[in-house]
Structure 1
Amino acid sequence: MLRLSNISEEEINKNMSRLTRFLEACSYQIDDDRIIIYINELKKQFEPETVRKHITTIKRFLKFINYPSVELIKPPKVPKKRKLVIKPIHVRNLIHEIDQKVRYEPLRLRAKAAVLLATTSGLRAMEVYKLMIDDIDVRNRTVFVRAEIAKDYEERITFFNEEAKQALEDYLATNPSSNLFYNLRDAFEKIDSKLRMKHMRKFFSQQSDRLGMPTAIKKILMGHVVGNEEYVALRGVDVDLEHYDFQDEEELKKIYDKYWRDFKILD
């Protein structure tokens, strides 16, 4: 059932683990009392967000077997966290720390290139980790996101700026393997900053807004769905998009470059 829902293998395994835990705790005999006891135990052991994930898995299973009381099961409310705002100075400090604390040059250049690529392209952390050398056209500052590494299994293109291009050229001069950004954890374990690769995409989104890039263009680059209203709004962009189908690399790059090409994070 989960595989038919286009859920990743990793998420399927997590769901199966939660379900197995639940069934074993109930001794494979499900009734209201056992469910209540199990959920109360979850609340004692885990944070609300984790409890919600467990309950979501349990409810999905109970619906599948047509358990009568499934709709009475309510997940706990998760406290809303304050929005994390990431500014250029935060990324600048991260890169300076990498420069200072990562002694092994190929690893240092790899981490620096990965950070600057992600912050200026909107790539997901997992997409960065899975990039192969043939996925990047450094000369034209273009990234080809293959369908098999994209979260939504749809290929797309995005771009990076001149600063990231220079960092990539410095890293490529070390003759890296075809899997460009493997094992970045070794670099991040050496620094004190709380920022990680997953935060770089958030920076791209926030900085695109600060630079004035149209939200629809940002969504296209990040691999988000664009609605009809956003498509109509795109016609007000300087580049003529009357016949733009969101796949024209040249037009998309012109818009990207207007906001990001010469933007710099480092001094």
Structure 2
Amino acid sequence: MVEFAKREGINMSRLLEEVLKAFYSGRRVILGPGPGFEPGLGDPQPSKLLNPKNDPKIGKNELYGHYIAFSRKLQNSNVTQEQSEEIKYFITQEHLNMLFLELKAKGVQEHHYKFVERSIKRFLDYITQEGNYYVFTLNDLISYLEKLQNEYHPVTYRKQLTYIKKLFRIAQIPLESYLKSKRIVGVDRTVVTVDDIKNLINIIKSLREKGRLAEKTADRMLVSLLLMATSGIRTHELIRLKLKNIDIRNRTIFIDENISKTNRARVTFFTKEVQKLLKRYVQKYNLKPEDNIVTYFALEKPFLKKNELKTQPIRPKHMRKFFSQEWDRKNGNSTVKKLLMGHSIREDINVLHYSHHTPEELKQLYDTVFGNLKFGV
């Protein structure tokens, strides 16, 4: 090659420059299987590209910083059914590993992680598995989304779609931007009173007496529900609480940055009635400092399995709602309520910069409002 260039008087530097320009000019970029091709992370999508004579439109995948050929099915409505079925997209185990690595790195809670696992498994079970790869066409995806829409509430459908889209981004499947879903903003206007919670307590006790609810399960539910109702903590904060985070003697819950949803440490309190209930529970079941008060599924499962609880209008999440509503009914200070409940204070200049209180002051203010609150347990 070099000898030929010298004979013909060709400038090799110039030739190389022209070759590189042609390569990077973008006039035609076709990615596809080459010698020794083995599908895996970062492989171009789709695996069967259309004929380059069709000049497929090229779209930039900003996530990975290079170009991939988009499906002409999405660019040209005149594509035939037969052509659309030739375009296949694949997902590898490595793509799945990266999705779940991202969730683990974010420290998502166990119940949320399992929800994503179930959502992705549901999709993979629907499409085709070829060896170590999962393969689907555009029609497969459309059929699956229709199935989800028919079987699930719009909110649940949207949640599942979110993680399918995330998987597509990781696998470089150029369909993510086409997966739109209607945004549903639901406002739970449930009003929760002391009598509502008393009724829930009586149902739990009744199930225990009839032998339809294990004694430990019933005790755990009562402690958990009343802790939330009197302290205002979130369900997902409660399930991350360990016994060492609770000072039973001083009726104080310490919620550190790793537990708090807003990543801000705070303290909150519970009533003397709940103090006695919690003390008995810890002694009866010999809880250790590192033990959790309750797990998510242990708290939620009875509400899914027992008809008497399933038909109730309130759930564990409504305990926090009760705290807020009852605080207002008793004319409690709204700033103190924000501090106890751990509301976001980014927009509240008063709370953010000025209205600071010691734990002792907060406890005194808490007792002024909730000091006489009782449920008769």
TM-score by length of 2: 0.56
Alpha carbons of 1:130 and 1:22: their partners in 2 closer, same or farther (altered >3 Å)?
Answer: closer
Separation of aligned partners in 2, 1:216 and 1:13: 36
Deviation at 1:173, TM superposition (A): 5.6
Question: Residue 7 of structure 1: which of 108, 128, 138 is its match?
Answer: 108
Distance 2:171 2:271 in 1: 52
- Counterparts of 2:176 and 2:365, CA distance in 1: 49
AA partner of residue 163 (structure 1): E
Note closer, same or farther for the CA distance 1:36–1:180 as it changes in structure 2 (3 Å cut): closer
Inter-CA distance 146–78: structure 2 relative to 1 (3 Å threshold):
same
| Aligned amino acid, residue 117 of structure 1 | L
Greater RCO structure (CA 8 Å; 6+ sep):
1
Contact 1:98–1:191, Cα closer than 8 Å, also in 2: no
Q: Check the 8 A contact 1:163/1:262 in 2, yes or no.
A: no
Q: Alpha carbons of 1:173 and 1:2: their partners in 2 closer, same or farther (altered >3 Å)?
A: closer
**One-letter amino acid of the counterpart of residue 33, structure 1:** N
CA distance in 1, matches of 2:184, 2:237: 28
8 Å Cα contact 1:98/1:187 also seen in 2: no
For residue 121 of structure 1, report the CA deviation from its aligned partner: 0.4
- Partner letter of residue 25 of structure 1? Y
Q: Tell me how far 1:190 sits from its aligned partner.
A: 7.3
Which residue is 2:181 aligned to?
Answer: 75
Deviations 1:35-54 (A, max 9, x none): 22221122223232221122
Matched residue type, 2:116: N
1:204 counterpart letter in structure 2 = F
SS in 2 for 1:35: helix
Deviations 1:176-210 (A, max 9, x none): 42247455679877783434433322221222232
2:141 matches 1:35: yes
Give distance in 1, aligned partners of 2:125 and 2:300: 35
The 2-side partners of 1:9 and 1:186 are apart by 15
Structure 1 range deviating more: 204-213 or 125-134: 125-134
CA spacing shift, 1:169–1:25, aligned 2, 3 Å: closer
Query: Contact 1:97 / 1:191 at 8 angstroms: preserved in 2?
Result: no
Q: Deviations over 1:52-86 (max 9, x none)?
A: 12211122223344544432322245584752221
Q: How many residues align?
A: 258
1:143 partner SS: strand
Matched residue, 1:238: none
Match of 1:223 in 2: 342
For the pair 1:137 / 2:247, whether they are aligned, the reply is: yes
Q: 2:197 aligns with which of 78, 82, 91?
A: 91
**TM-score, L = length of structure 1:** 0.75
Give 1 or 2 for the bigger CA radius of gyration.
2
Inter-CA distance 61–162: structure 2 relative to 1 (3 Å threshold): same
Q: Which amino acid letter does the alignment assign opposite residue 40 of structure 1? A: E
The answer to whether structure 1 residue 211 and structure 2 residue 321 are counterparts is no
Q: In the alignment, residue 18 of structure 1 is paired with which amino acid?
A: S
* Cα shift at 1:171: 3.9
Please tell me whether the aligned partners of residues 240 and 259 of structure 2 are also in contact (alpha carbons under 8 angstroms): yes
**What's the % identity of the aligned pairs?**
30
Compared CA separation, residues 181 and 75, structure 1 to 2 (3 A): same
Question: RMSD between aligned alpha carbons?
Answer: 3.7
Segments of structure 2 that go 5 or more residues without pairing to the other structure are: 1-101, 129-133
Q: Which residue of 1 aligns with 2:233?
A: 123
Cα gap change, 1:143 to 1:191, in 2 (>3 Å): farther
- Segments of 5+ residues of structure 1 without an aligned counterpart are 236-240
